[in-house]
Amino acid sequence: MKRNYRLSTIITVFGCIVVLVSLLVTDMLITATTSERIRANQEDKAQIVSRTVAESQVVKESLVNEEKAGAVQTYAEEVQSITDMMFVVVMDMNGIRYTHPNPEQIGKSFAGGDEQRVLQGKEYVSTSEGTLGDSVRAFTPIHDDDGNQLGAVAVGISLENVEHVLSESHRNIVEGSILGIIVGVIGAVFLAKYIKKMLFGLEPYQISKLLEERSTMLQSVHEGIVAVDENQNITLVNKSALRLFKKAGLPDQPIGMNITDFMPNTKLDRVLEKGESERDEEQTLNGIEILANREPLMVNQQIVGAIATFRDKSEVNKLAKQLTGVRTYVEALRAQSHEFMNRLHVILGMVQMEAYDELVEFIRKIIDLKNQDVESVTKSVRDPVLAGFLMGKISYAREKKVMFTISSDTKIDKEFNVEVSQELITIIGNLVDNAVEELSASKEKKLSLRMKEEKSTLRITISDSGPGITEDNFKRIFDKGFSTKGSNRGYGLYLVKQSIEKLNGNYHVYTDGKGTVFEVMLDYDWMRDGMQNDD
């Protein structure tokens, strides 16, 4: 079995190798360059000192007048002490020393054999062994004011001192390299941990496994999935999306194509531009209605692409038709169950108090009220799904202590198909819920629903006694996500607007600060015939 090495181990080992090799090469290059520079600096230092001594009037006068020769020794010793030279020797044209660190050597010939060229007027640097040992020597000729050579100056630096300076420099470089290696190792370890953190603690073999699992998962889901990069080029398409594309007559190899060229109305370019999600958006794909969700792909707060998931809307409609009735009855039962439990508590209390006369009267009122509710709804609406939904809303409003009345100038005696009922429930349900919520802070809590059939139009009017809609919010109430009640709200009236458009209708809103009236006009004939044809 192939061994899987940890990512941190791999990065640390290779990081250390790279740092070590780099520092070794750098150490070799720097050592050579530094050694040359230090040696050159020492030679330049000796040359400067020798030139300075050669220009001294004390030196020149001592070579011309032997009576002043004693002063030059003192001067040479001072220069030697100040500049930390090994020796400062002044000699005449015969190579006889006038100065020397060892006074016993004064008056003797210069030792080393490398002084001949300076006595010929040349300036240079050499390395030789003298009475004080091996040294680097700088020679400078001494001239009088007329340019005649009087003698020469030799300034020496101990070769041992030069080697010591070179050794010190190399040791510093080695210590720096060792420190660099230590820092490099620590850096490699932290880099490995940082990369591991960026990869969510996963090892390379785990990442490859996740990639395979991701690919299998994307290809197995029933929803179509399309992903694009920041340039709107398609980077991923799963099998479900390819099947839907084939059904729509689109190319079966979209990878690499620009999404706008492939699907002109995909709107993923808008998601890339704004960086905002779009949920449950309807879209037409060569005549096929789909329901799409679009999300921007973010990395480090930067948009790097977008992804869209979608399904054939006909499949969603089938599910919706199956769930609409169930959801309606559940909501009605919940409200009625809550109301029934409250009344049972009242009945239990009256029985325990043996207030039988009052109990009879209470039950009679309950029966009368229930009959009124049923009569008000069944008298107005024949469609059982819509009627059951309205019964639930009456109980819900009563639970919130809102007086909710339903009236109809003409009986709605048509039974709608499931899709029409669903849209009517969306319209009435959201408007009623919004009104009940607005009335929670009002002293007068009245809500009315009126339905009227006028020729081929179904007019639905919902009015409340709430505080009304402010002028600032009036133009935005139907915008998706707009709400004055906090985050993750603002979808009710947006869905109402969509449902009205689906039923080929229009609407008006009135508000005067003392209440709000929503008036919805729907095409009755189109609801009965058009929606069925669409099915």
Does the 9-165 domain belong in CATH 3.30.450.20?
yes
pLDDT band at 1 (very low <50, low <70, confident <90, very high): very low
pLDDT at 336 (0 to 100): 59
Same fold, 9-165 and 225-312: yes
Note the pTM of the prediction, 2 decimals: 0.40
- At CB < 8 A and 24+ separation, what contacts does 214-219 make? none
pLDDT score, position 123: 92
Three-state SS at 312: strand
Q: Identify any residues that bridge with 284 across adjacent strands, giving them in sequence order.
A: 289
Q: Each residue of 218-237: pLDDT tens digit?
A: 676 778 888 888 888 888 88
What the block records as the tokens of 484 is 């004055």
Cross-strand pairs, 227 = 236, 307
Which one-letter DSSP state was computed for residue 4?
A: -
d(CA 29, CA 24): 9
Distance separating alpha carbons of residues 67 and 46, to the nearest angstrom: 28
Please report, for the chain, the start and end positions of each structural domain, with discontinuous segments joined by +: 9-165, 225-312, 355-534
Q: How many helices (H) and strands (E) does the chain have?
A: 17, 14
SS (H, E, C) 438-467: HHHHCCCCEEEEEEEEECCEEEEEEEECCC
pLDDT value of position 324: 47
Asked whether the predicted pLDDT for residue 322 surpasses 50, the reply is: no
Q: Helices 356-378 & 384-399, crossing angle to 10 degrees?
A: 140
Q: Could you tell me if 319 and 419 are in contact, meaning their C-beta atoms sit under 8 angstroms apart? A: no
Average pLDDT over residues 511-531: 76
Q: Which residues contact 366 (CB under 8 A, 6 or more apart)?
A: 343
Neighbours of 264 (CB within 10 A): 9
Q: Dig out the tokens for 280 from the structure.
A: 């449950």
User: What sections of 354-417 are H helices per DSSP?
Assistant: 356-378, 384-399
d(CA 161, CA 259): 76
- Which residue would you say has higher pLDDT here, 75 or 367? 75
Higher pLDDT, 202 or 108: 108
Q: What is the pLDDT of residue 139?
A: 93
Cβ neighbourhood burial of 249 (10 Å; 0-12, 13-18, 19+)? exposed
- Check whether 333 has a pLDDT greater than 70: no
Give the least confident one: 107-111, 116-120, 177-181, 520-524. Answer: 177-181
Pick the residue with more confidence: 347 or 190?
Answer: 190
Over residues 453-467, the pLDDT tens digits come to 877 788 889 898 888
pLDDT at 366: 63
| Residue 135, Cβ density class (10 Å: 0-12 exposed, 13-18 middle, ≥19 buried) | buried
Lowest mean pLDDT among 36-45, 120-129, 407-416, 429-438: 407-416
For residue 37, pLDDT beyond 80: no
Provide the strand spans (E) within 80-168. 87-92, 124-130, 133-143, 149-158
- Segment 173-181 mean pLDDT: 75
Lowest mean pLDDT among 29-43, 50-64, 88-102, 270-284: 29-43
CATH topology classification for 225-312: Beta-Lactamase (3.30.450)
Q: How confident is the model at residue 325, as a pLDDT? A: 44
Tell me the pLDDT of the chain averaged across its residues.
77
Give me the phi and psi of 276, to 5 degrees please.
-115, 145
Q: Is the pLDDT of residue 212 over 50?
A: yes
Tell me what pLDDT residue 153 has.
Answer: 93
Has residue 314 got a pLDDT over 90? no
Question: Do the bridges between strand 133-143 and strand 149-158 make them parallel or antiparallel, or are there none, so unpaired?
Answer: antiparallel
Using an 8 Å Cβ cutoff, are 94 and 110 in contact?
no
Q: Does position 370 have pLDDT exceeding 60, yes or no?
A: no
Which range in 174-178, 460-464, 473-477 is most confidently predicted, on average pLDDT?
Answer: 460-464
419/1: higher pLDDT? 419
Asked whether residue 181 carries a pLDDT value surpassing 70, the answer given is: yes
479 or 51: whose pLDDT is higher?
A: 51
The encoded tokens of residue 366 equal: 């309950």
In this predicted structure, what is the pLDDT of residue 141? 93
Taking the C-alpha atoms of residue 76 and residue 515, their distance in angstroms, rounded to an integer, is 112
Phi and psi, residue 106, nearest 5° = -70, 135
Helix (H/G/I), strand (E/B), else coil: 411:
coil
Q: Determine the pLDDT at residue 293.
A: 85
Between 52 and 414, whose confidence is greater?
A: 52
Reply yes or no on whether the pLDDT at 404 is more than 80.
yes
Residue type, 387: A
Q: Domain 355-534 belongs to what topology?
A: Heat Shock Protein 90 (3.30.565)
- Residues of the chain with pLDDT > 70, as a percent, come to 78
Instruction: Reduce the DSSP state of residue 410 to 3 states and report it.
Output: coil
512's tokens: 């005067």
Q: Which tokens hold the place of 93?
A: 């044209």
